Chain A
Amino acid sequence: MSTATLTPTEAVVTATPRRRSHLPGQKPFGPLRVTAFVVLLLLAIGWLLPFLWAVATAFKTEPDAASGDPSWIGTSGPTVDAFTAILSQGNVYTWAFNSLWTAAAVTFITLTISALAAYAFSRLDFAGRKWLFVVILASIVVPPQVLIIPLFYQMLAFNMIDTYWGLILPQVVAPAMVFILKRFFDAIPIELEDAARVDGASRLRIFWSVVLPLSRPILASVAIFVFIAAWNNFLWPFLVINDTTLMTLPVGLQTVISAYGVQYAQVMAQAVLAALPLIVIFLIFQKQIVKGVATSGFGGQ
């Protein structure tokens, strides 16, 4: 019974090649190691269960889901009815597409403007460099939630309520990312740039063809971090977008919960569908994401 519901994840597990199972120089089967393994396994199961239960519910019929029967498969057998019901409404595609491209736009703009500024702070000499950097560093502590009222006013003034620009632009200022990128640029040997300067390359050219290629790992880290945050952002898109066709996935899904009432299987199918893109991205880019979160998370100090 339970094996059938577990198959999707098992398939996923076997689909990706095992990356590492390194064993440091300890006894492979010491009692402590076995205990550690069991505790880890229990924790992992505990952490996967809520999501697996959502997946199991999504494959039930509505009456089976509403019956409160705790088995993994409903008495009427598994069905994809809930998924077809959700997908036939069309809005989910629109919202997923909106989420995808607005998050990509936020990521691209944030990365571009932050990297340019970080390069200036790292390599160029200009009046007021120090205090400007201090101001930007200090602004890291400002929680975006504090700004929702004045930003909303601003969007009203700019006529950007219910527009993609109103959704994207207020999300592109990321002082922490400037700081992280500056620290990385600082560590690049200056000699590499000097060689290009002797050849008469402009600053922009050096930035583009010397600094950026060397910074790929940090750029990927920052991009991943910004993308996840933008993809999952709820409060601002929720405030600035009222038009159903412009909504992002988190906001759009939230509006239909009440509309569905007690259709548990459909709500779960919808949650699973919304979760899928980022899970797939994680399965593909696990290494980079793990590294990126660690770098950007720690850089935020």
Chain B
Amino acid sequence: MMTAATDSTRTIVTGSRTAAPARRAGSRSREQLVSWAFLAPFLIAFALFLVWPIIHGIVLSFTDASLTGAGGGFVGFANYAEALSDPVMWRSLWNTIWFTLLSTVPLVVIALLMAALVDRGLPGQWLWRLSFFMPYLLASTVISQIWVWIFNPQIGAANNILKAFGLEPLAWLQNPETNMLSIVIATVWWTVGFNFLLYLAAMQNIPPQQYEAASLDGAGAWRQFWSITLPQLGPATVLILLLQILASLKLFDQAYQMLGGVASDTTRSIVQYIYEAGFVSYRFGYSAAISYVFFALIVIVGVAQALVTRRRKEQL
């Protein structure tokens, strides 16, 4: 892709060279100027709100800076040393990974199931898309309020359903043993529609001729799914998995709000701990250090994905 673009630009440049060799130098430096003019607005925002915060965050992580303005002195690796020996940090890191494991599997499998069914071209396309994707459009606040209501231990709908099946009611969000599960259920309901749409798009990219040919050969719908659809979803699945893992690792909004802002040892995610260290304990330096522990986790996932993709490409 990139090489193609470079080539086409080159063609222009060589074209103008042959046409007017004398003006070459002038038009080239003009093009430089025009380029930077096009880039400037983005680059200024990029430098101010991305590059600078990344650098400043690293600097802060080596200080004992606090919101109150006190401190700010250089403390070396003390924040990182503290983070690595902080049981709350490890617990929130584990909670984050646990949530990622619990949520990613259903978020990918259910999305695949939904897309496979909708892709059959059954009547009501419009309704399926609305039902599955609509929750994704809701703000975290809205879905938190809805699920706190459903998970209400005394009068919530979730326990009414359990009772209808003759099961014991649960305390859901109010029990440390089930609160993470409750957050996972709400999250699957909330965000599965995004993966569903990605899968659906991937399935609709498969040429219909392949199905027609298979159907002429007498392959049924089930057979077609296994031997045509599924094998071609490999790249899409790798990407959806990566996007989902990255999204799940960023758990905060719904977990924080569904518990009403109360910190729970069993649901506190790493992003929530960054927030608490910075904006509840006012320890900006420490919070910045935990941010980079989190960032390291994200980079590890990204690198792992890159390795997997490369292996896949080599196999092909």
Contacts and interface: CB of A to CB of B under 8 A. Distances in A.
Interface in B181-224: 189, 194, 197-198, 200-202, 208, 211-212, 215, 220-222
Interface stretch (A13-21, A74-82, A212-220): A13-21
Interface residues of B, number: 110
Given A43-B132, A249-B139, A298-B239, A16 B126 contact: yes
Given A125-B35, A274-B141, A235 B50 contact: no
B278 A301 contact: no
A30 B302 CA distance: 44
A215 B286 CA distance: 45
B125 to A, nearest CB: 5
A51 B149 CA distance: 11
A293 B9 contact: no
Contacts of A153: 56, 60, 284
A127 to B, nearest CB: 7
B46 A26 contact: no
Interface in A191-227: 194, 197, 203-204, 207
Interface string A246-287: 000111011001100000100110110011001101110010
Nearest to A122: B5
Contact of B122 (A33, A133, A232): A33
Interface in A116-164: 116-117, 119-127, 129, 132-133, 136, 139, 141-143, 145-154
Contact of A44 (B56, B128, B252, B287): B128
- What bracket does the count of chain A residues touching chain B fall in? 35 or more
A175 B39 CA distance: 12
A16 to B, nearest CB: 7
13 contacts: A43-B113, A44-B131, A50-B150, A119-B38, A126-B32, A145-B291, A169-B45, A173-B46, A204-B34, A275-B137, A275-B142, A293-B133, A297-B198
Interface of B: 1-2, 4-5, 8-13, 28, 31-32, 34-36, 38-39, 41-43, 45-46, 48-54, 56-57, 60, 113-114, 117-118, 120-135, 137-142, 144-147, 149-150, 152, 154-155, 157, 160, 189, 194, 197-198, 200-202, 208, 211-212, 215, 220-222, 236, 239, 242-243, 246, 249-250, 252-253, 257, 260, 271, 274-275, 278-279, 284, 287-288, 291-292, 294-295, 298-299, 302
